[in-house]
Structure 1
């Protein structure tokens, strides 16, 4: 069982930089991650690489 299993994290600015790294780390720790981005294409890119 992972540390964040069953938890939901909302990350703003998740399309690049620290937000993207945090979203990835939270997902790897077992959290369900909801990401937010100003740009749909970059948000979609971040979502596809984090899943």
Structure 2
């Protein structure tokens, strides 16, 4: 059971990282204009 929770948490944080990266890129592009 603990393994399942760890996998879910890991994948969620991974998705969060991708969203954060995408968001940071968008903000940087807006500042450059």
Which bin holds the TM-score, normalised by the shorter protein? 0.3 to 0.5
Identify which of structures 1 and 2 has the higher relative contact order when contacts are C-alpha pairs closer than 8 Å and 6+ apart: 1
Greater share of strand: 1
Larger Rg: 2
User: Structure 2 length normalisation: TM-score?
Assistant: 0.40
| TM-score for the superposition, normalised by structure 1 | 0.28
